[in-house]
Amino acid sequence: MTVDTVMMFLLKVIDVMIIWLVLYYVLKNLRKNVRMLLLFKGILFIVVLKLIGDLLNLVTTSYLIDYVIMWGPLALIIIFQPEIRNMLEQIGRSQFLGRHKSLTVDERENLVYEISQAVSNLKKNATGALIVIERDVSLAEYINRSKKIYADISSELLVSIFYPESPLHDGGVIVQGDKIISAGAVFPTSNNLRISKRLGTRHRAALGIAEETDCISIIVSEETGRVSIAVDSELRYNLTIDDLKKTLLEELHPKKFVNLADDEDEEDGEKNEIDF
């Protein structure tokens, strides 16, 4: 086997990997974006019409479809510019090596406990709140535009931030690892037409950032005190505190382990999991 043969083989592998990577991100965003999913269905419909027209020799249909295929990409770029921009921004913010910090079992349970305690207190007093937990996709863009805190997670600090007289209570808190990184963060609001019109800006901002990234957004309604959570582009309404704890533990569970030692620690920790 010559060097040229090896290089040619490696180039083909790299070529295939790039195509699969592009397809992965496209399909991942299609699953989370309703408008992009409709666009994908429309493209499939046009391709099917083109095949039928060529197969049955439908001259007029094939002629019109050819024009659509010729000018369609330019029209799609103009019409779906916001969706394309969001997808490219998400790819740019992605961290291919995973979270900033892999939490241990104890750290993860403490994080869930402190957030749950804070949400419980906020719920009792019907104090509005928005807590966003960063995962694999970086929230640095929003952290840079908010008030830096970088403090250990604690229910008391979270409650004090969202106290109505606090200057930071209107924005969102960003949690990174087991630290409160910033407060007063402003997030993009969702344009999803399926969510209730009765929901305010806080809920729409929580869903908006959950649509753009893989974060977990926790909302406490200022009007009703009800707790909701936005994750994977889905808004789950009126959760109990136990539901919140369960969801957080499931969503914050690491997707993979760095090594076997971490794996064994994880298993031991799960057996001794704290009952909140």
pLDDT computed for residue 152 by the predictor: 94
The mean per-residue pLDDT over the stretch 56-83 comes to 80
Neighbours of 144 (CB within 10 A): 10
Every domain of the chain and the residues it spans: 3-93, 105-271
Least confident piece of the model among 40-44, 229-233, 256-260? 256-260
* pLDDT beyond 70 at 261: no
> Which range has highest mean pLDDT (8-22, 26-40, 75-89, 126-140)?
126-140
pLDDT computed for residue 30 by the predictor: 61
Q: What is the pTM of this model?
A: 0.63
The mean per-residue pLDDT over the stretch 191-208 comes to 86
* pLDDT beyond 50 at 264: no
Please state, rounded to an integer, the average pLDDT across all residues of the chain.
Answer: 82
Task: Indicate the class that CATH gives domain 105-271.
Answer: alpha beta
pLDDT computed for residue 270 by the predictor: 44
143-168 pLDDT tens trace:
989 999 999 999 999 999 999 988 88
pLDDT computed for residue 72 by the predictor: 78
pLDDT computed for residue 255 by the predictor: 64
Strand locations in the chain (E): 129-133, 147-152, 172-176, 179-185, 216-220, 227-231, 234-239
Confidence of residue 41 (pLDDT cuts 50, 70, 90): confident
Helix (H, G, I), strand (E, B) or coil at 12: helix
Q: Per residue in 155-179, is it b (16+ CB within 10 Å) or e — as a string?
A: bebbbebbeeeeebbebbbbbbbbb
The mean per-residue pLDDT over the stretch 56-73 comes to 84
Q: Helix %, strand %, coil % for the chain, to 5? A: 55, 15, 30
pLDDT computed for residue 212 by the predictor: 85
Confidence of residue 210 (pLDDT cuts 50, 70, 90): very high
Confidence of residue 195 (pLDDT cuts 50, 70, 90): confident
pLDDT computed for residue 157 by the predictor: 95
pLDDT computed for residue 6 by the predictor: 81
pLDDT computed for residue 36 by the predictor: 65
- Higher model confidence: residue 272 or residue 139? 139
Percent of the chain with pLDDT over 70: 79
- Higher model confidence: residue 11 or residue 266? 11
pLDDT computed for residue 93 by the predictor: 53
**Structure tokens, 142:** 């929003």
Question: What are the strands of the beta sheet with 234-239, ordered from one edge?
Answer: 147-152, 179-185, 172-176, 129-133, 216-220, 227-231, 234-239
The mean per-residue pLDDT over the stretch 200-207 comes to 92
pLDDT computed for residue 231 by the predictor: 94
* pLDDT beyond 70 at 19: yes
